[in-house]
C-alpha cells in the first residue's frame, strides 16, 4: 500500500471507511432488490462496485505501470468480468471483501510495526548538561563523550553514560523486560532510555546518542522487521509468475468449458472467474510475514531481539544447548556466602574489619565483602594506615592492632600459631569445592596489657552467583525436548563441577580453550543431526557475546545474554537477550516454536483453501452443480482474514513466569544454594 497522508481518502483510515461504506451499500442494495423487490436497489449495488473499483483499482494500476501482474490486478479483473456478466453484486462483494481484508491486513501490520518500533519512543530528546559553568537544557543528540549530565528522578537517561556522583534505582523494564529496578552507584553503566526512579545522578557520557546501546537495538529491530525468511523469499519470487499462471489457467478453463464441454459462454466465464478468485494466493503471501513480524514484535517487548525471521526459525528447531559459564550461567563476580571463624570470633567483627579495609576498593572481592556486610547489617569500621600489596592483599591498623586481608601467605604472620594449620585446612576444603577463600586476621594485643585481646582470624567463603532463572533452566529446557543442556567453560574442573551439579546440567566440559569450544560445538551438532528419532536437531550456543563470539558463530543459532551494552554481542549473535534473566531462553524457544506452528498452520490453511475450493469449483461446474461466485469470494477473502487474525495471536503470547522475571540485584541474587557451612571448629581452651 502506498504511503498517503493520514486523513486523505487513500489513507488507511480512508480505505477502511470506504470498504465499510461499500459493504453497507451492497447489503442495502441486495435487501432492497431481492427482499423488497425494489428495482432501484441495483443502483446501490453498482455504487458499491464503483467504490470498490476505485480503491481496488488504484494498486492494480500501480502494478500495471510497473509492468507486473499480481493479485491486485487479478481481483479487479475478476470483479469487472463478473459485473460484465450481469453479476454486479458478486463483483461488488469481491471488491468489498478484498479492500476490507487489505485494510485490516495493513492495520494488523501497522500494529505489529508499532510494537517493534515502540523502542523509538524511549529515546530521550533533551538532556541537562554541564556547559560553560552551568547546567543547561540541550538536545540529547548534541552530547559528546566525556560531557557531564544530570539525570533527575523520573527522567530518562539521554545517552549511554557512567555514574559519577550519587546512587539510585534504574527502571530498565521497557528495554530488558526486567520487572525490578536495578540499583546503581558510582562506576556503574547506565543505558540510554532507562528511567531514574530514585535520587538525582550526575553521570559522564560514554557514548553519544548515535552510538548508544539503545540506538544499536533500534537498528537491529528495524533490520529484523525488514528481513525475509527463506520461505517468504520463495513465495515473493513465485507470486508474480503464479498470478500469471492463474490467469492462463482461468483462460484455458473458459476454452475447455466452452469448446470441449459445450457449455455456454456465461457458465464458462463464471467458472473461470470463480477459479481465478479462489486460486489467488493472498492468504499464502501474507501467511509468513504476518506471523514472523508479530513474533519479533512480541519478543522485542519481552527483551529478546531476533535478527529476522531466519533466527526465529533456527531457534524453533533447537534440540541441544551449550552454555558458557562465567558471565552467562553465572554473573561473573563473587558473592560472599559465609564468614567461617577460625579463632576467637563469631565472624561479625572480622566482617566489619574486612568491609573497612575494602571501603575504597573496586575489586570484585571488595564489592562482595561490602555487599555482604550491608546484607548482614554490619557497619564497616574505620582503619588507619590502609595499604595494598599487589597480588597479596590489604593491611591496616585498628585500635593499635594490625589487620590483614588476602591470601594465607599475606596473613600468616599475624594469625595465632595454634590456628594456622586450621586456616590452611579450611582453605583446602574450600578449594576442593570450587569456592574462593579469603583470609581476614587481626593480630593479638600487647601481652603486657591486661586488657589486651587475643588474635582472631576467619575465612571469607565466596562463590560466583548464578543468574536469575538458572535454577529452573534445565527443567524447562528438558520439557521442551532440548537435551543435552551442556556447559563449556575455561574455568577449572572443581568450580565447573560445582556449578554443573547445582544446576543439574546434563554435561560439562572445563578448562577449555576457544578452539576446544569450537570443536565441541561441532561435535554436538554432528551428534544431534545423526541421532535417530530426534525431533529438534539444531544446537544453540549461549554466551556473553565477547569471548564467546567464535562459538556463537559456529552454532546453528547463537544467543548473547545480558548484553544491552555489549557491541560484540549485538554483532556476533543471531539473538540477543537484553536482560540478565536466563528464564528468557526457554521462553524464547517456546515463542519461536509457536511462531513456526502459526506459519505452518497459515500455509496449510491457505494452500488447503486454494486446492480444495479450486477443485470444488472445477468438479462442481463439470457436474453442472457450480459453486456460486460469492462462495468462492468468501472462501478466498475469509481465508485471508483468518490468516491475519491467527498471526496476531502471537502478540498475546504469555509473559515469562514471575520467577523468571526477577531482576538481578547484587545481594539478593539467587545463589548456587550457598555452600553448606563447614563443620564448626572446636575452639581450644584459653
684 CB burial (10 A radius; 0-12, 13-18, 19+):
exposed
Residues 79 and 137 in one domain: no
Residues 32 and 177 in one domain: no
Question: CA separation (Å) from 301 to 115, 228, 312, 553?
Answer: 7, 20, 15, 25
Which of the pair, 572 or 371, is modelled with greater confidence?
Answer: 371
Q: State residue 60's pLDDT score.
A: 87
Residue 685 lies in a domain: no
Neighbouring CB atoms inside 10 A of 255's CB total 11
Residue 642 lies in a domain: yes
Which of the pair, 139 or 452, is modelled with greater confidence?
Answer: 139
Residue 537 lies in a domain: yes
For residue 381, give the DSSP letter.
P
Residues 128 and 185 in one domain: yes
Q: State residue 675's pLDDT score.
A: 46
Question: CA separation (Å) from 248 to 74, 253, 275?
Answer: 11, 9, 11
Is the pLDDT assigned to residue 153 strictly greater than 80?
yes
Taking a C-beta distance cutoff of 8 angstroms, is the pair 207, 160 a contact?
yes
Is the pLDDT assigned to residue 112 strictly greater than 60?
no
Mean pLDDT for the stretch of residues 514-541 = 88
* Gap between the Cα atoms of 346 and 328, Å rounded: 35
Mean pLDDT for the stretch of residues 154-160 = 90
Is the pLDDT assigned to residue 486 strictly greater than 50?
yes
Q: State residue 669's pLDDT score.
A: 33
Is the pLDDT assigned to residue 649 strictly greater than 90?
yes
pLDDT level of residue 392 (50, 70, 90 thresholds): confident
Taking a C-beta distance cutoff of 8 angstroms, is the pair 667, 427 a contact?
no
pLDDT level of residue 173 (50, 70, 90 thresholds): low
- List, in order, residues 6 or more apart from 388 with CB less than 8 Å away: 361, 394
Question: CA separation (Å) from 204 to 74, 139, 216, 567?
Answer: 60, 16, 20, 19
Containing structural domain, residue 164: 121-221
SS3 for 312-365 is HHHHHCEEEEEECCECCCEEEEEEEEEEEEEECCCCHHHHHHHHHHCCCCCCHH
pLDDT averaged over every residue in the chain? 81
pLDDT in tens, 210-262: 887 777 766 765 665 555 556 656 666 777 788 888 889 999 999 999 999 99
- State how far Cα 250 lies from the chain centre: 46
Q: Residue 641: enclosing H or E segment and its boundaries?
A: helix 629-648
The residue from 549, 578, 607 where one domain ends is 578
Q: Does the annotation count 324 as an active-site position? A: yes
Three-state DSSP class for 575? strand
Residues 364 and 452 in one domain: yes
Is the pLDDT assigned to residue 449 strictly greater than 90?
no
pLDDT level of residue 13 (50, 70, 90 thresholds): confident
Residues 105 and 181 in one domain: no
- Split into its structural domains, the chain has a count of 4
Residues 538 and 389 in one domain: no
Q: State residue 222's pLDDT score.
A: 62
Q: State residue 489's pLDDT score.
A: 84
Taking a C-beta distance cutoff of 8 angstroms, is the pair 293, 115 a contact?
no
Q: State residue 600's pLDDT score.
A: 93
Which of the pair, 279 or 228, is modelled with greater confidence?
Answer: 279
pLDDT in tens, 406-432: 888 889 888 888 888 999 998 888 877
C-alpha cell at 38: 425494489
Is the pLDDT assigned to residue 269 strictly greater than 70?
yes
Q: State residue 593's pLDDT score.
A: 97
Residue 177 lies in a domain: yes
Mean pLDDT for the stretch of residues 397-401 = 89
Residues 236 and 355 in one domain: no
Mean pLDDT for the stretch of residues 303-314 = 85
pLDDT level of residue 128 (50, 70, 90 thresholds): very high
Q: State residue 174's pLDDT score.
A: 58
Taking a C-beta distance cutoff of 8 angstroms, is the pair 665, 671 a contact?
no
Q: Residue 148's domain is classified under what CATH number?
A: 2.70.150.10
Is the pLDDT assigned to residue 50 strictly greater than 90?
yes
Which of the pair, 233 or 398, is modelled with greater confidence?
Answer: 398
Residues 404 and 436 in one domain: yes
Residue 101 lies in a domain: yes
Residues 565 and 619 in one domain: no
Residues 482 and 545 in one domain: yes
Is the pLDDT assigned to residue 566 strictly greater than 50?
yes
For residue 262, give the DSSP letter.
-
Taking a C-beta distance cutoff of 8 angstroms, is the pair 323, 467 a contact?
no
* Gap between the Cα atoms of 368 and 374, Å rounded: 10
Is the pLDDT assigned to residue 69 strictly greater than 60?
yes
Which residue is catalytic, options 70, 72, 313, 324? Answer: 324
* Gap between the Cα atoms of 257 and 621, Å rounded: 9
pLDDT level of residue 662 (50, 70, 90 thresholds): very low
Is the pLDDT assigned to residue 151 strictly greater than 80?
yes
Is the pLDDT assigned to residue 333 strictly greater than 80?
no
Q: Residue 527's domain is classified under what CATH number?
A: 3.40.50.1000
The residue from 522, 544, 578 where one domain ends is 578
Residue 191 lies in a domain: yes
Residues 107 and 129 in one domain: no
* Gap between the Cα atoms of 524 and 502, Å rounded: 23
Residue 90 lies in a domain: yes
Q: State residue 221's pLDDT score.
A: 59
pLDDT level of residue 632 (50, 70, 90 thresholds): confident
Residues 476 and 458 in one domain: no
The residue from 439, 466, 493 where one domain ends is 466
Residue 430 lies in a domain: yes
C-alpha cell at 421: 594449620
pLDDT in tens, 335-353: 888 888 886 666 788 899 9
Amino acid at each position: 500500500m502506498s504511503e498517503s497522508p493520514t486523513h486523505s481518502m487513500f489513507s488507511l483510515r480512508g480505505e477502511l471507511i470506504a470498504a465499510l461504506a461499500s459493504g453497507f451499500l451492497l447489503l442495502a442494495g441486495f435487501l432492497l432488490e431481492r427482499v423488497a423487490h425494489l428495482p432501484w436497489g441495483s443502483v446501490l449495488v453498482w455504487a458499491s462496485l464503483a467504490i470498490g473499483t476505485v480503491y481496488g483499482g488504484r494498486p492494480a494500476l500501480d502494478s500495471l505501470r510497473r509492468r507486473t501482474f499480481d493479485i491486485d490486478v487479478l481481483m479487479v479483473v475478476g470483479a469487472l468480468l463478473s459485473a460484465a456478466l450481469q453479476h454486479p453484486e458478486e463483483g461488488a462483494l469481491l471488491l468489498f471483501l478484498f479492500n476490507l481484508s487489505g485494510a485490516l491486513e495493513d492495520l494488523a501490520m501497522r500494529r505489529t510495526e508499532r510494537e517493534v518500533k515502540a523502542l523509538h519512543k524511549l529515546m530521550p530528546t533533551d538532556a541537562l548538561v554541564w556547559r560553560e559553568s552551568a547546567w543547561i537544557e540541550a538536545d540529547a543528540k548534541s552530547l559528546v563523550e566525556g560531557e557531564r549530565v544530570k539525570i533527575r528522578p523520573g527522567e530518562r537517561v539521554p545517552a549511554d553514560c557512567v555514574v559519577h556522583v550519587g546512587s539510585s534505582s534504574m527502571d530498565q523494564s521497557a528495554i530488558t523486560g526486567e520487572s525490578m529496578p536495578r540499583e546503581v552507584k558510582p562506576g556503574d553503566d547506565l543505558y540510554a532510555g532507562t528511567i531514574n526512579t530514585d535520587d538525582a545522578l550526575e553521570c559522564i557520557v560514554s557514548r553519544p546518542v548515535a552510538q548508544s546501546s539503545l540506538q544499536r537495538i533500534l537498528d537491529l529491530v528495524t533490520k529484523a522487521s525488514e528481513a525475509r525468511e527463506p520461505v517468504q523469499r520463495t513465495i515473493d519470487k513465485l507470486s508474480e509468475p503464479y498470478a500469471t499462471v492463474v490467469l492462463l489457467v482461468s483462460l484455458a478453463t473458459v476454452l475447455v468449458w466452452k469448446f470441449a464441454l459445450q457449455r455456454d459462454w456465461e457458465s464458462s466465464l463464471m467458472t473461470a472467474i470463480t477459479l481465478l478468485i479462489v486460486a489467488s494466493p493472498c492468504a499464502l503471501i501474507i501467511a509468513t510475514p504476518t506471523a514472523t513480524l508479530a513474533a519479533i514484535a512480541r519478543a522485542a517487548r519481552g527483551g529478546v531481539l531476533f535478527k529476522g525471521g531466519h533466527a526465529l526459525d533456527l531457534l524453533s528447531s533447537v534440540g541441544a544447548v551449550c552454555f558458557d559459564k562465567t558471565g552467562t550461567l553465572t554473573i561473573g563476580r563473587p558473592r560472599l556466602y559465609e564468614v567461617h571463624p577460625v579463632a576467637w570470633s563469631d565472624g561479625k567483627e572480622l566482617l566489619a574489619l574486612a568491609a573497612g579495609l575494602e571501603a575504597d576498593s573496586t575489586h570484585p572481592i571488595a564489592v562482595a565483602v561490602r555487599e555482604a556486610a550491608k546484607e548482614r547489617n554490619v557497619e564497616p569500621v574505620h582503619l588507619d594506615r590502609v595499604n595494598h600489596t599487589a597480588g597479596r592483599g590489604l593491611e591496616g591498623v585498628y585500635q593499635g592492632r594490625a589487620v590483614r586481608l588476602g591470601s594465607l601467605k599475606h596473613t600468616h604472620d599475624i594469625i595465632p600459631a595454634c590456628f594456622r594449620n586450621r586456616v590452611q585446612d579450611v582453605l583446602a576444603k574450600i578449594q576442593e569445592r570450587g569456592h574462593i577463600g579469603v583470609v581476614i586476621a587481626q593480630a593479638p594485643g600487647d601481652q603486657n596489657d591486661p586488657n589486651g585481646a587475643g588474635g582472631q582470624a576467619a575465612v571469607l567463603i565466596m562463590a560466583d552467583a548464578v543468574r536469575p532463572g538458572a535454577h529452573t533452566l534445565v527443567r524447562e529446557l528438558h520439557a521442551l525436548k532440548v537435551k543435552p543442556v551442556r556447559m563449556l567453560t575455561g574455568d577449572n574442573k572443581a568450580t565447573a563441577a560445582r556449578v554443573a551439579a547445582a544446576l543439574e546440567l546434563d554435561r560439562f566440559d572445563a578448562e577449555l580453550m576457544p578452539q576446544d569450544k569450537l570443536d565441541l560445538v561441532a561435535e554436538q551438532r554432528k551428534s544431534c543431526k545423526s541421532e535417530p528419532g530426534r525431533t529438534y536437531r539444531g544446537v544453540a550456543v549461549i554466551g556473553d557475546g565477547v569471548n564467546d563470539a567464535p562459538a556463537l558463530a559456529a552454532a546453528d543459532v547463537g544467543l548473547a545474554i545480558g548484553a544491552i551494552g555489549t557491541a560484540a554481542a549485538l554483532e556476533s549473535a543471531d539473538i540477543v537477550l537484553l536482560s540478565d534473566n536466563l528464564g528468557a531462553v526457554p521462553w524464547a524457544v517456546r515463542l519461536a516454536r509457536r511462531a513456526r506452528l502459526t506459519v505452518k498452520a497459515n500455509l496449510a490453511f491457505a494452500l488447503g483453501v486454494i486446492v480444495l475450493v479450486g477443485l470444488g469449483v472445477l468438479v462442481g461446474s463439470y457436474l453442472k452443480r457450480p459453486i456460486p461466485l460469492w462462495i468462492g469470494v468468501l472462501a478466498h477473502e475469509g481465508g485471508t482474514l483468518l490468516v491475519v487474525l491467527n498471526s496476531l495471536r502471537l502478540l498475546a503470547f504469555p509473559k515469562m513466569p514471575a520467577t523468571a522475571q526477577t531482576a538481578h540485584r547484587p545481594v539478593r541474587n539467587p545463589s548456587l544454594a550457598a555452600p553448606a557451612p563447614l563443620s564448626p571448629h572446636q575452639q581450644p581452651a584459653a
